[in-house]
Structure formats: structure tokens, C-alpha cells
Amino acid sequence: MKYFQIDKSLFETNRAKFKAKMQPHSLAVFNSNDIYPISADSTMPFEQHRDIFYLSGVDQEESILVLFPDCPKEKHREILFLKETNEHIAIWEGEKLTKEKAFETSGIKTVYWLQDLEKVMFEILTQCDTVYINTNEHYRANVETETREDRFTKWLKNKYPAHAVAKSNPILQRLRSVKEPIEIDLIQKACDITEKGFRRVLGFVKPDVWEFEIEAEFMHDFLRHRSKKFAYTPIVASGNNANVLHYIENNQQCKAGDLILMDVGAEYANYSSDMTRSVPVSGRFSERQKAVYNAVLRVKNEATKMLVPGTDWAEYHVEVGKIMTNELLSLGLIDKADVQNENPEWPAYKKYFMHGTSHHMGLDTHDYGILTEPMRANMVFTVEPGIYIPDEGFGIRLEDDVVIQKAGEPFNLMRNIPIEADEIEDIMNA
């Protein structure tokens, strides 16, 4: 891995929190992701399942974590099953976790090779009543592929049909949404790497560069600072491309006088950052562009203040909508009649700001979190309002990542990334 080893105390803490929520005499199983094929002998880069990583720190394919807090044998209360490694495998595939290294990574003492899985599982499953299975219940999930987790669940239910089944996901949704201090430090690291990339790009952007060249500049600095990739597919959208919310082609030339909307973020140690900035191709905003830009920034600043413990996510978005409505009135994009006659299900402001303002962030860019429950301290949220004006050929979105505090306004993890219009211009013209 490119990242520095994470203190195993994080994963010990996470497992302790999860086990405290389990039913008596129950066992929980978590699987790694598959390595997905492309064609012939080509594969996609491996990405670890965030749940097993959250609970173990293991960042390797074909790994299984078992938690059984009430197991009569103490050594079987936490178990890792790993793909066996040896010198031959190390030469052909690279270093894999040894049993000793797995303990250093996870804090789990009992490590078996996968060939022992069925034997050990038979023993411990005779000693428990309930098995926690891990399903994907994220509100944005739309999975068509049968995962390694899915196949394991099928095998388990078929082989042990008499066991009761419980769900891991509701527990994980609540646990993962509230970050430990080490996690916040890792997200901060990802944000700091994103800052380095953005500052590099501000010195690079000029008329006639291509969107993909800007993407490459970001990737250059990300890799230099131990990020393996973008946290999500980057958006580098110049001109009217910015009005396509999930524009990812990044294949157009940037024209003088246009704006570029850049929604990019580095990952670090599987933790995400999520930043959006809108900058002028020519280094200066027009008067109209700056007016819209500052309107978006004011909405963002006011929205940020509302991210405090106890805030209801749905009500928060209603209040942000009111702030945005006033800004759009001031910009002349809507009028009082539009507001008076608006459909409550699709308010007038939605013509120019049609997406949400905030989402949980962490191990996943759209991280776990139950939206019907109040916000809590140490949750990490994005704040990302935007105004999109196809008729004027530009769209502006601004986004930072913030940590909710026990009291007062949230802490901005992107506080050092330039965002004021004048500062952007000063850096671009230095």
C-alpha cells in the first residue's frame, strides 16, 4: 500500500463497538471484495470492501473476518482468514499478509489460511444461534453484480439453514457515520493532498488547455503524496459542461472567458475527500460570474453553520433551499411570482439548484449514515451548493468537507484550500 500503516487501535476500537451491538450467542462474518475481470487475463484494480477494512484494516483480496464475542474458545472470538502466502506467491503477485503482519495491521491474534475456513466455521457455528450477514443497504446503492459477500451468504444459509439471521448493515450505518479521531486525521490527510493538487492546477489552467490535462495535473500530485487514485471519478467541466451534474468525459478544450467546475478529491488509506471549486479559465471572473460565485459561497457559508448536533437532514435541506431562493431572487434568475406559484415538491430554486447540499463522507465518498436520524458530533459531511445556468453557459458549485463539533460551527477540513474569488484570481495571476 502507498499509505503509512494505520494504528491498529482504530480497528480494535471499531470491532469493540460493533461487538457491543451484537445479540448474545451471535457471530458476524465480513468478506473482502472480488477482483473483477476485464477480459483475457486483465483485471480491474482491487478495491477493498470498506466494512471489512473498517473492522480490521486488512486491505487484501480473499480475506474474511469473523467476530464471535461469546465463543467458548477465547481465540475464536476474533478470527481472520487470509489467502496463504509464501515466497513463490510473493515473487509472482507481490507481498501478502503473513499471520504476523496481519496481527500488526488488525490487532487480531487468530489468523487461519482460507483452506481451514470450512472446518473452523463448522466448529464455531455449532456454538452460536444467530449469524450476522452483511448486505448493502445504502440509500444510493444500485448493485447488479453478485459480490463475494453475496456468494458467501448463499453458501452459509444453504449449509446452516437452522441458524437465525441478523443484519450487520444497520449497526455499521450508525457506527461508521460517527468518526474516530484517527479516521478524521486520515480524512484530513486526503483533504491536504487534494489541496496540493488544486494549488498545482491553479498555476496550470489557461485558455486552450484540455480538461483531461487538468485531471492529469491533479493525479500527478495525488500520487506524489501517497494517494493511489481519485476518491471518485473526477469531474473537470468547462463552460456548459458544468451544467451536466455528473459530467465525467473530461475531453473538451477550455476556452477563454469560460469557467471550469472541478469536482475532485484524493483518497488516502481508503478514506475519501470531496472538493468542488469553480475557477476562471482566463484567471479573472467576469462581473456576472463573480456575482453568481459569491452567491453560491454565501449559501455554502450559511449552510455550514447549520451542521450541528441534532440537525435533521431533511429540514436542513429545506432551510438551505430558502437561503438559495433569496440569492436567486437577487441574481434575477427567479422572481416573486415563481416563488408564490412554486410546486412545494419541486420549489422554484430547484430550476438552478437541483441536487442536495450535504452527504456523509468517510471510507466511501457517499458514506454510511441514516438520514432519518439527527446529526451527531464527529460526523463528516460535505457542503456543496451550486447554481447552474445553461442559458449563460456556466455552472458554479463550491464544496468543502466539515466535521460536526459537540458545540459551535463545524470544523472545516478544507479550510486551507482557496475558495474566495479574489484569492483564486490572485493565485492564478501571481
- Mean model confidence pLDDT for the chain: 96
Question: What per-residue confidence (pLDDT) applies to 34?
Answer: 95
Topology alike, domains 9-177 and 181-428: no
Position 95 pLDDT exceeds 90: no
Contacts 24+ apart (CB under 8 A), 180-186: 180/10, 180/13, 180/14, 180/378, 182/6, 182/7, 182/9, 182/10, 183/10, 183/271, 183/362, 184/378, 184/380, 184/403, 184/413, 186/6, 186/268, 186/269, 186/271
Which one-letter DSSP state was computed for residue 332? T
Position 89 pLDDT exceeds 80: no
- Provide the pLDDT confidence category of residue 88 given band limits of 50, 70 and 90: confident
Write out pLDDT tens, residues 396-427: 999 999 999 999 999 999 999 999 999 999 99
Question: What per-residue confidence (pLDDT) applies to 143?
Answer: 86
Break the chain into its structural domains and give their ranges: 9-177, 181-428
Write out pLDDT tens, residues 362-373: 999 999 999 999
For residue 124, report the phi and psi dihedrals to the nearest 5 degrees: -80, -25
Question: What per-residue confidence (pLDDT) applies to 54?
Answer: 98
Which one-letter DSSP state was computed for residue 396? E
Contacts 24+ apart (CB under 8 A), 314-318: 314/371, 314/372, 316/357, 316/358, 316/375, 317/356, 317/357, 317/358
Position 28 pLDDT exceeds 80: yes
Topology of domain 9-177, CATH: Creatine Amidinohydrolase; Chain A, domain 1 (3.40.350)
Question: What per-residue confidence (pLDDT) applies to 350?
Answer: 98
Question: What per-residue confidence (pLDDT) applies to 52?
Answer: 98
Position 189 pLDDT exceeds 90: yes
Length of the chain: 430
Question: What per-residue confidence (pLDDT) applies to 93?
Answer: 75
Angle between helices 181-202 and 9-20 (to 10 degrees): 130
Mean pLDDT value across residues 149-172: 96
- Provide the pLDDT confidence category of residue 328 given band limits of 50, 70 and 90: very high
Question: What per-residue confidence (pLDDT) applies to 155?
Answer: 96
Superfamily of domain 181-428: Creatinase/methionine aminopeptidase superfamily (3.90.230.10)
- Provide the pLDDT confidence category of residue 94 given band limits of 50, 70 and 90: confident
Question: What per-residue confidence (pLDDT) applies to 338?
Answer: 96
Give Cα 350 to chain centroid, integer Å: 25
Position 215 pLDDT exceeds 80: yes
CA dihedral 326, 332, 335, 336 (to 10 degrees): 40
How far is the first Cα of the chain from the last one, in angstroms, to the nearest whole number? 37
- Provide the pLDDT confidence category of residue 91 given band limits of 50, 70 and 90: confident
